[in-house]
Structure 1
Amino acid sequence: MNTAVSRAEQPHMAMLVANPVVGDSRVEKSALSAVRAGYRVTIVGVGNASTSRVDHYEHIPIYRIPLDFTRHKAWTVENRRRNSSTAPEASGTSPLNRASRALHRLNRSWAERFRTVRESFRAGRPGGWRAVWPQTLDYEEAFLEVLHRLQPDIIHAHDRHPMAGAAAYSALQRAAGTPVPWVYDAHEWVPGTIIGGPPQAKTAWVALEAELIRTADAVITVTDHVAGELHARHRLDVRPTTVINAPRGARQPLPPDQRRPLREECGVGPETPLLVYVGMLAEHRGVFTIVDALGEMPGVHVAFVGSQNATVRQQLHDRAEEAGVRDRLHLLDYVPSHSVTWYIESATCGVSALMPYPAHELAMPTKLREYAQAGLPVIASDLDTQSAFVTEHGMGTLFEAGNASSLAAAFHRLLDDQESYRRAVRDPDFLASQTWEGNETALAATWHSLCPVQLPPDGPRSVAPADATTSQTEAERHPTLVVVGASGTDPWTEAWSRHAGEARGHAGSGTEADGDAPLMSAALDSWLEIDQLADAVLYHGLSCAHGDVDGGPLSEMLSLQRRQKQVGVLTEAPLVDAELLRDRPGHALSDWDPEVFGRYRRQALKQARPFLTMLEHGIPLFTSSQRTAHMLHGVEWIPTPLLAPSPPHLPPAGEARHDPQAPVSILIVPTIRSQAENRQLDRLVEGATRHGFTVRRPRFSRYDSAQARHADIVVDALTLGEWSQSAAHAWSASRLVVGHLDESLGTSVNTPLATAPAPPLLESSVPEIADTVLALAHSMDDERTVAARWQGRDFAESIYGGKMAVASLRGVWDV
């Protein structure tokens, strides 16, 4: 019996963290371990201006909450208002005014002390931290809302920020009779952590952790020291499990088109000393100390592989410029956690320059183990935990935290005995004890004890990179298209498959306002499939692959563009302002009643607005309207391919059309028409009926352009100056089409059209339309009429067979 577990049957783990995930190696490694342990994983982070709302790490979907901190901002504004209202009004230098200001400062000092004591008391009450620092409530509500949409079976909360959301969701599910366990992963010692903002920020976060940690079903942390502190402070029933944040033992190189080894990217030769720092760029991490030390290390370069914090990066640039060492400073972006050791192994040594804060004394930075796995000796500041680790294993030198001269001296000492440090750090037994794989068993055991998994008979499955099986050359030779909004058999997927490469349809979904949204985890899985599969994504109108999961159609398209995907939108919306069209001589809108025209224009502008916004953001629009493409830059005319062309309904030469008793059928296409045109069509209906012909004049709401295949004569628009998709269907079925083509369009809209047969549009003016159609109806078997029908068939095959449409798409996208 096959006991393999399908993805749908796997327990779903939500892994929560309050950062964009990129560069957070513990989150990335934990997620991969959870997949290996048999879980279906979704990573939930918090977005910023430089990240997409939806992303993935390897093959694991990431959703970033668009957190706007509404409650915290309102609280801040109110606090500023309150503080400004209590400021002293006295000014000037008189003794009385000086005394007034001094008294105010004294009162404010006592008020601050009283407020600190009061808010510590408030924060310590159940849920009091929400009122003391409303940012905690913003995080709680944001994570709770996402958990309701994901409906996980187990939650892994990284650090303090997601705790409240995880605890609230778990409590709600337990009350409903469907328990969802949650794990708290304490990355640091919160009471000793530097937390930005006023004192109440730290007061609230410490109180939040103290209240909620005992509701967690399991607690894990990064060092034995922190585990002991947590156990003692919070009187936990079970000592937290230590899962050290070590790198994976295996090096995984990145493709050359993504990243090159560190020295190559820095442009530094093998003989030049090169320090490397990996991690967050922040003052309290000692990054400024490292730059200051460069002045005392002639010829030495330093590479910061860190977060994209624009402010700190500029400060590092400025500081290096002032010190005259700017040419020896290199700022580089993170690489995926599985490739860090491969990336940095060409450096001379690694550096950890943590500043002396209580939490840092307990911290065991991930970077130290990453340096070790890369074979690099280290220079570390003399804080308790990291200095003990470095000294115990003889892997480097120490310096006084915050002292640039001490750091430079430590580097020179390391160079003097570099080989002995390298031998120590490359000891096989030491390296084996400092790998993530060595801790994975404890992590998986914690999860399995809370949420058991049915593993396949061959054990945990391996995890391969998302693009491991697809070569770049294959993707270029056979570009894959995903069509969003495709229903049933889609002409675009069929045409692309026939003329370009693989194509798939995606039904798309509306936003939650349109009804029940799909489960977020399913939408993210679908997005991930599109992201991995597609070279290009074509959208039908305002269809959206994943509702509001990626912020709506435009946000979703921009997200895909940032991931180097080609995107485009098919639309028949009236994009050209009706005022511009109305001014054209003889246009259908030219004789409309002003009030009717005004209503039409307002409605058309409303329909056009979202598409014109896409155009402003660089999203190409594709339309079957030659007029629209002719008048708007960035809008491309593309002939919408027809599905399987109908067999020709043509008689052999000299034979009857078909059953002579069957009446000729006439279809008047519903489209925008002038008042004069409609009056002449009324006359046509009356005359055709009198002669025994059948006439259909359907409404917009009951019409599909494919209906034109079933009429003998199709009357297209006369005053729009172009043919419609109805004409294309009619020609493909060898029917006659009467209309008018504006010479100003000609063949300038689309270059491939210049080599195609001339459109077999039977020209007619508005005054002559009734006579023209009736004459055709009486001469269906004439040689000229049969020839026109053959021409229509040839034209449809040339233009609407799909080859031209695909070539046009590929030309715009360059795929």
Structure 2
Amino acid sequence: MKLLKICCSKWVNESRDYRELGVYSEEGAEISVLVKGDIGDKPKKDIVEGFEVLRYTTKPFGEKAPSAFNKLISLFQWASFARKQQPDIISGHDLLALTIGWLSTFFTINKPKLIYDSHEFEIGRNADRSGFSKWLVLHWEQFMIKRSTLTIVVNESIADEVAKLYELDEKPTVVRNIPISFEVDEAECKKVKKQYLEKLGVEKLLIYHGLVCSGRGIESTIEALSMLESVGLVVVGNPDSPEYLEKLRQMTRQFNVEKRVDFHDAVPHEVLWKFVGAADLGIVMISPVSKSYYYALPNKLFECIQSGVPVIGSDLPEIKKVVVGYNVGALAIPDNAASIAEAVKGLICDQEAYDSVKSNVELAKKQLCWENEKVVLAKAFNKISQ
């Protein structure tokens, strides 16, 4: 059985895809991944995380050709190339990738089954979409879901919304973006923590990890530091632009906390636990700038839990289910520095409360791991691959 995954990006650090494809491989599938390549790649073969990767250009007529023309032609070139792979199943990383997979089934006798692997709430993903764009996405996604054998979403709220929106007989399959169990060396975490406490001159440590960009609560957390005594912040991740990183540095000076904030480049996933596990609290403050963000259930939440660290999370539906349901931290109002500061104080100033949530984190990490979550995916995949 051959499975082709289509992803219209460079396919870098796609940890969720790696885990999902690992499940398909365990169930006997032969995996290939069609991804974005450079000019001239038609395709360029590569190996990533043990999977065959086929890098195909999205600019068949080079840099000088109009972007829209390149995209239109590459859409059909990708579909043609995908058909030549003769897959039994095609998994689309998003709506565009799924569309390419669907186009590749034209004029074929044994049509491959389609998997819609939706990583976000597509219709609510971009708050800046025009009315026509929303209408188009709404109707196209409904059209494509009806032609997919399996639709996967990342949480129950999105599953409920999609099922209601498109009047589906069966809810999409929920597979949360949960990491494989971390093996944490507490002695190493304590060593890293000691270094940061001395460097920043503080007694308690907060950490944010992930893409350093707006909408992730970093700015509000920096402001919250000015309301907290002897608390430092480590920001681990690469900025989406040098300008945004400089903006954050300016904010640390504005609130007179520059000596208590450290910016660190992104680290390999296999050593992430060293940094997250060094903190007293993890910051998971997603701002509801769109409906997709409102329903967000970020993997950094589970990475904090796997690292043994309680969290300060956004008071949003899916994050709240985990933080309150497992009692692994406290909630705060996104983009509200005072609320974040109050939530932090509620834990670091009350040792009994902190010890309680810390113990709950250790219990939760045994349940909230990929080893458990992948069972749902394996069952759904087996059902369609028979």
Interval of TM-score (by shorter of Structure 1 and Structure 2): 0.7 to 0.9
Aligned residue in 2 for 1:62: 53
Structure 1 residue 145: Cα displacement = 4.6
Match for residue 348 of structure 1 among 280, 286, 294: 280
SS across alignment from 1:285: coil
The answer to whether the Cα contact below 8 Å between 1:278 and 1:306 also exists between their aligned partners in 2 is: yes
Aligned residue in 1 for 2:223: 292
TM-score normalised by length of structure 2? 0.82
The whole-number CA distance in structure 2 between the counterparts of 1:335 and 1:296 is 32
The whole-number CA distance in structure 2 between the counterparts of 1:31 and 1:299 is 44
Structure 1 residue 266: Cα displacement = 10
The whole-number CA distance in structure 2 between the counterparts of 1:25 and 1:46 is 17
Q: 1:59 to 1:261 in 2, by over 3 A?
A: farther
Structure 1 residue 376: Cα displacement = 0.7
Residue 209 of structure 1 aligns to which amino acid in structure 2?
Answer: E
Structure 1 residue 443: Cα displacement = 1.3
SS across alignment from 2:120: coil
Aligned residue in 2 for 1:448: 382
Match for residue 415 of structure 1 among 348, 351, 354: 348
1:543-600 deviation digits (Å, cap 9, x = unpaired): xxxxxxxxxxxxxxxxxxxxxxxxxxxxxxxxxxxxxxxxxxxxxxxxxxxxxxxxxx
Residue 33 of structure 1 aligns to which amino acid in structure 2?
Answer: V
Match for residue 179 of structure 2 among 244, 247, 260: 247
Aligned residue in 2 for 1:305: 236
The answer to whether the Cα contact below 8 Å between 1:381 and 1:399 also exists between their aligned partners in 2 is: yes
The answer to whether the Cα contact below 8 Å between 1:156 and 1:184 also exists between their aligned partners in 2 is: yes
Aligned residue in 1 for 2:34: 44
SS across alignment from 2:52: strand
1:442-493 deviation digits (Å, cap 9, x = unpaired): 21232233334xxxxxxxxxxxxxxxxxxxxxxxxxxxxxxxxxxxxxxxxx
Q: 1:376 to 1:237 in 2, by over 3 A?
A: same
The answer to whether the Cα contact below 8 Å between 1:214 and 1:234 also exists between their aligned partners in 2 is: no
Residue 101 of structure 2 aligns to which amino acid in structure 1?
Answer: A
Aligned residue in 2 for 1:164: 99
Aligned residue in 2 for 1:432: 366
The answer to whether the Cα contact below 8 Å between 1:364 and 1:386 also exists between their aligned partners in 2 is: yes
Structure 1 residue 441: Cα displacement = 2.2
Aligned residue in 2 for 1:32: 22
Structure 1 residue 208: Cα displacement = 2.5
1:152-208 deviation digits (Å, cap 9, x = unpaired): 332222232312112212x32xx4212211111122222222355655544443333
Structure 1 residue 46: Cα displacement = 3.5
Residue 224 of structure 2 aligns to which amino acid in structure 1?
Answer: A
Structure 1 residue 247: Cα displacement = 1.2
Equivalence map 1:129-148=2 (5 Å): 137=72, 140-141=75-76, 143-148=78-83
Aligned residue in 2 for 1:360: 293
Aligned residue in 2 for 1:316: 248
The answer to whether the Cα contact below 8 Å between 2:295 and 2:317 also exists between their aligned partners in 1 is: yes
Aligned residue in 1 for 2:328: 395
Q: Tell me the C-alpha RMSD between the 2 structures.
A: 3.4
Equivalence map 1:260-275=2 (5 Å): 264=192, 267-269=195-197, 272-275=203-206
Q: 1:68 to 1:298 in 2, by over 3 A?
A: farther
Q: 1:329 to 1:151 in 2, by over 3 A?
A: farther
Equivalence map 1:332-347=2 (5 Å): 332-336=265-269, 340-341=272-273, 344-347=276-279
Query: What is the identity percentage for the equivalent residue pairs of Structure 1 and Structure 2?
Result: 21
Aligned residue in 2 for 1:218: 150
SS across alignment from 2:160: helix
The whole-number CA distance in structure 2 between the counterparts of 1:195 and 1:137 is 25
SS across alignment from 1:426: helix
Structure 1 residue 323: Cα displacement = 3.8
1:231-252 deviation digits (Å, cap 9, x = unpaired): 2211223221111211112438
The answer to whether the Cα contact below 8 Å between 1:382 and 1:401 also exists between their aligned partners in 2 is: yes
Structure 1 residue 39: Cα displacement = 2.0
The whole-number CA distance in structure 2 between the counterparts of 1:138 and 1:385 is 39
The answer to whether the Cα contact below 8 Å between 2:59 and 2:70 also exists between their aligned partners in 1 is: no
Q: 1:61 to 1:339 in 2, by over 3 A?
A: farther
Q: 1:334 to 1:200 in 2, by over 3 A?
A: farther
Q: 1:198 to 1:414 in 2, by over 3 A?
A: same
The answer to whether the Cα contact below 8 Å between 1:360 and 1:383 also exists between their aligned partners in 2 is: no
Q: 1:180 to 1:272 in 2, by over 3 A?
A: farther
The whole-number CA distance in structure 2 between the counterparts of 1:299 and 1:374 is 23
Q: 1:435 to 1:142 in 2, by over 3 A?
A: farther
Structure 2: which 5+ residue stretches go unaligned? none
SS across alignment from 1:350: strand
Which structure has the larger Rg? 1
Q: 1:31 to 1:406 in 2, by over 3 A?
A: same
TM-score normalised by length of structure 1? 0.41
Residue 274 of structure 1 aligns to which amino acid in structure 2?
Answer: L
SS across alignment from 1:330: strand
SS across alignment from 2:345: helix
The whole-number CA distance in structure 2 between the counterparts of 1:142 and 1:32 is 28
Aligned residue in 2 for 1:153: 88
SS across alignment from 1:375: coil
The whole-number CA distance in structure 2 between the counterparts of 1:343 and 1:151 is 44
The answer to whether the Cα contact below 8 Å between 2:163 and 2:172 also exists between their aligned partners in 1 is: yes
The whole-number CA distance in structure 2 between the counterparts of 1:295 and 1:47 is 45
Q: 1:136 to 1:382 in 2, by over 3 A?
A: farther
The whole-number CA distance in structure 1 between the counterparts of 2:147 and 2:316 is 32
Structure (1/2) with the larger strand percentage: 2
Aligned residue in 1 for 2:166: 234
